[in-house]
Amino acid sequence: VQLQASGGGLVQTGTSLRLSCAASGDTSGYFGYYAIGWFRQAPGKEREGVSCVGSSGTTHYAESVKGRFTISRDNAKNTVFLQMDSLEPEDTAVYYCAASRIGLACRALTTRWGSAMDYWGEGTQVTVSS
């Protein structure tokens, strides 16, 4: 499975961006079986989980983005989106999407999402200026 994240850019505080994560290759017949997570890594910081959507469509968010970010999936297009509103300078990071063959992977603690992922895409840079 290959994942491609896109949609990053340079924006001002308070504005929005929508990231996309497109999957291709062998998705075992149905993209919807995968849990998909969004992660980010800021310079000098560890990677952190941002949001995750399970195979059933249930969504999960890190506390830092609750109420501002919305994750969604379009299984027909093998794509997951991350709508990011009210962006803050602290959201500046490289954002990555990843896929887990365990559809319930998102039910784990946010800090465990990364270890549950089987496939990772290249990141997209998000920079929020103050």
Write out pLDDT tens, residues 26-46: 765 688 899 999 999 999 999
Length of the chain: 130
Read off the pLDDT band of 25 (50, 70, 90): confident
Let me know: does 51 contact 71? Beta carbons within 8 Å: yes
Read off the pLDDT band of 108 (50, 70, 90): confident
Q: Does residue 77 register a pLDDT over 80?
A: yes
CA 35 from chain center: how many Å?
A: 10
What is the mean pLDDT of the segment spanning 57-62?
A: 96
Read off the pLDDT band of 68 (50, 70, 90): very high
Q: 3-state DSSP call for residue 89?
A: helix
